[in-house]
């Protein structure tokens, strides 16, 4: 051990350690400093005696926006048993003594080498930026998957440290959403591990479960055995058969004592009684009271999510090295719309209809939102999708119920206006744009939506492909 250490030149000066031209900084437990001062160091060594301090430091690095920090090699010294999953998953090695540092330099160099392969562009969109960080980290650390770890501090009960470190702990459901989204986009592949049920209101996974009265929701419910006395067919809860001060059960109808279950009496069922509203019932509701928002709902209305291990997919792996991260939006599910493929088919049929009876006039309207990317970047994908849903709902109010709408992309919505004259269709297009612009501006102060419309008549001479070629081109 010492011999090996002697082969390399180790210099310890205050908190700095220089080794093989690599410069490390030793962060003493509970010391106060800013990590921004550590940019120049090749790695840090944390004195991990105090877990919460260690947690804080690791989080400061890994959650940082700058790759110089979030990819920084971190070693721990004086670490005992590590319980915190965030510490456990996000360090690069545990040193039993500083003398062992030279053995880890190759690891540091490997990280540096891989870092040079990374694409230096940082996406603007918050979700994309975080995923890029995750893929960078996985690439430099040779991680092939993100495993869920039980964590009582996570609001969903599980955490995936590499990605979760970028969020506050009460935001863990956003981690879940982002992972599910990356799975849909085939950046990651999921493998089922467990299932959790989250509050439909605040996505918290911590609940108080109790049986409540289906009539008044009170938990003041008592269960009671029902007794059936065979000889006289009397049926009632056990209390009907109990007399004060007596141990034996006596039938209130025929006054006979109950002797032998299965022979002269039976307990065919259990009935609950609510002391709050005095109603009886067999079927109790199981309700979950959310510890986050105190929302009290029946368990069937909790939102179930799969907890999966996420394995990196080819598409995800290439994100780190420069494939770029695009959000196709093809998985957006907006109520009241049809998937684009189906939409195309329906327009095709409409066109056929027009060919058969030329007196029918139908129009294809496409709406391109030119500057929507910046909105996405400000409010995030999820809020943007909600905005999109509101926009579609608003459009629904301006078209006939027989018209169909499709969200082709985050910046392209199409509507087929069936049986409408040109003036009518133009009028509809104008009022939709007007209302959409107003709505978006009301919601996002200082932003003004640029919307380009394209209105085409479904003419007999047209083919479906030509129709869509024009409709899909924002500069038409």
Partner 1 sequence: MHNFIDEFIDYALSMDTITFVRLFWFFFLFEFTRYFIVDFAVLLIWRFKQIIFKHKWDQARERLFAEQPLISIIVPGKNEGKHIHKLTKSLNEQTYQNYELIIVDDGSDDQTELICRDLERNGLIDLFIRNDVRGGKASGANTALRFSKGEIVVHLDADCSYDYDAIEKIILPFYYDEKIGAVGGNVQVRNKEVSLCTTLQAIEYAHSIGVGRIVTSELGIYRVVSGAFGAFKRQALERVEGWDIGPGLDGDITVKFRKMDYRIFFQPEAMCLTSAPDTFKKLQNQRLRWDKSLVRFRLRKHRDVFFPHANFKIKDFIAFLENITYNLLLNIKWYFYVADMLINASAMLWFIVPMNLILYTLNNYAKYFLFMNFRKRRNDHRGYFLLIFRLWFSTLVTSYA
252 binds partner 1 (CB under 8 A): yes
Tokens 């929507």, residue located: 372
CB closer to partner 1 out of 169 and 228: 228
Work out which of 236, 292, 380, 474 binds partner 1, going by CB under 8 A: 236
CB closer to partner 1 out of 285 and 447: 285
Residue 269 is classified by DSSP as E
78: left (phi over 0), alpha (psi -120 to 50) or beta: left
Residue 138: C-alpha distances to residues 70, 131, 141, 145, 207 (Å)? 12, 10, 5, 8, 34
Contact code string over 340-379 relative to partner 1, x by CB under 8 A? ----------------------------------------
Residue 35 is classified by DSSP as G
299 binds Zn ion (CB under 5 A): no
286 binds Zn ion (CB under 5 A): no
Work out which of 14, 244, 283, 442 binds partner 1, going by CB under 8 A: 283
Work out which of 234, 295, 394, 472 binds partner 1, going by CB under 8 A: 234
Q: Name residues contacting partner 1, limited to 262-281 (CB under 8 A).
A: 266, 268-269, 271, 279-281
Least distance in Å: CB of 219 to partner 1?
19
- Partner whose footprint covers residue 14, from Zn ion, partner 1, none (CB < 5 to 8 Å by kind): none
CB closer to partner 1 out of 233 and 423: 233
Pairing assessment for the beta strands 234-237 and 303-312 based on DSSP bridges? unpaired
d(CA 219, CA 284): 10
215 binds Zn ion (CB under 5 A): yes
Q: How far is CA 21 from the centre of its chain?
A: 43
Pairing assessment for the beta strands 221-229 and 74-77 based on DSSP bridges? unpaired
- Partner whose footprint covers residue 271, from partner 1, Zn ion, none (CB < 5 to 8 Å by kind): partner 1
SS3 343: helix
236 binds Zn ion (CB under 5 A): no
Least distance in Å: CB of 241 to partner 1?
12
HSE-CB for 208 with a 13 A CA cutoff: 9
Go through 293-330 and write b for each residue having 16 or more CB atoms within 10 A of its CB, e for each that does not. Answer: eebbbeeeebeebbbbbbebbeebbbbbeeeebebebe
Q: Name residues contacting Zn ion, limited to 363-422 (CB under 5 A).
A: none
Contact code string over 204-233 relative to partner 1, x by CB under 8 A? ----------x-----------x-x-xxxx
237 binds partner 1 (CB under 8 A): yes
d(CA 76, CA 100): 11
CB closer to Zn ion out of 295 and 383: 295
232: its two tokens: 């006289």
CB closer to partner 1 out of 14 and 283: 283
57 binds Zn ion (CB under 5 A): no
d(CA 341, CA 330): 11
HSE-CB for 471 with a 13 A CA cutoff: 29
Which residues lie near partner 1 (CB under 8 A)?
214, 226, 228, 230-237, 240, 252-253, 266, 268-269, 271, 279-283
């Amino acid at each position: 051990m010492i011999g090996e250490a002697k082969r390399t030149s180790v210099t310890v000066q205050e908190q700095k350690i220089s080794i093989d031209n690599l410069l490390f900084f030793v962060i003493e437990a509970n010391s106060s400093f800013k990590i921004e001062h550590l940019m120049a160091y090749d790695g840090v060594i944390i004195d991990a005696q105090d877990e919460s301090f260690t947690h804080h430091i690791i989080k400061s690095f890994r959650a940082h926006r700058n790759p110089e920090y979030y990819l920084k090699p971190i070693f721990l010294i004086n670490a005992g048993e590590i319980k915190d999953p965030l510490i456990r998953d996000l360090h690069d090695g545990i040193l039993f003594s500083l003398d062992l540092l030279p053995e880890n330099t190759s690891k540091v160099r490997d990280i540096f080498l891989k870092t040079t392969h990374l694409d230096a562009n940082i996406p603007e969109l918050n979700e994309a930026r975080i995923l890029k960080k995750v893929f960078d980290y996985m690439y430099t650390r040779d991680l092939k998957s993100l495993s869920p770890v039980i964590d009582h501090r996570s609001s969903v009960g599980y955490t995936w440290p590499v990605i979760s470190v970028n969020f506050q702990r009460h935001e863990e459901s956003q981690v879940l959403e982002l992972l599910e989204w990356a799975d849909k986009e085939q950046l990651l592949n999921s493998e089922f591990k467990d299932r959790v049920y989250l509050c439909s209101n605040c996505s918290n996974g911590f609940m108080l479960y109790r049986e409540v009265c289906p009539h008044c929701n009170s938990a003041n419910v008592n269960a009671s055995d029902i007794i059936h006395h065979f000889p006289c067919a009397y049926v009632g809860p056990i209390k009907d058969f109990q007399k004060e001060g007596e141990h034996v059960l006596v039938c209130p109808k025929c006054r006979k004592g109950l002797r032998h279950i299965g022979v002269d009496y039976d307990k065919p069922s259990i009935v609950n009684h609510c002391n709050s509203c005095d109603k009886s019932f067999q079927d109790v509701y199981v309700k979950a009271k959310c510890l986050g928002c105190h929302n009290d709902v029946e368990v069937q209305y909790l939102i179930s999510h799969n907890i999966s291990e996420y394995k990196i997919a080819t598409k995800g792996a290439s994100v780190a090295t420069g494939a770029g991260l695009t959000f196709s939006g093809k998985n957006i599910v907006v109520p009241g719309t049809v998937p684009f493929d189906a939409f195309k088919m329906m327009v095709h049929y409409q066109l056929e209809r027009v060919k058969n009876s030329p007196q029918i006039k139908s129009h294809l309207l496409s709406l391109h939102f030119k500057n929507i990317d910046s909105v996405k970047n400000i409010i995030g994908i999820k809020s943007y999708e909600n905005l999109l849903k509101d926009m579609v709902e608003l459009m629904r109010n301006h078209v006939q119920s027989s018209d169909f709408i499709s969200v082709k992309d985050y910046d392209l919505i199409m509507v087929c206006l069936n049986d409408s004259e040109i003036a009518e269709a133009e009028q509809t297009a104008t009022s939709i744009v007007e209302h959409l612009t107003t709505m978006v501006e009301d919601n996002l102060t200082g932003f003004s939506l640029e919307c380009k419309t394209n209105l085409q008549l479904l003419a007999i001479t047209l083919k479906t492909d030509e129709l869509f070629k024009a409709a899909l081109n924002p500069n038409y």
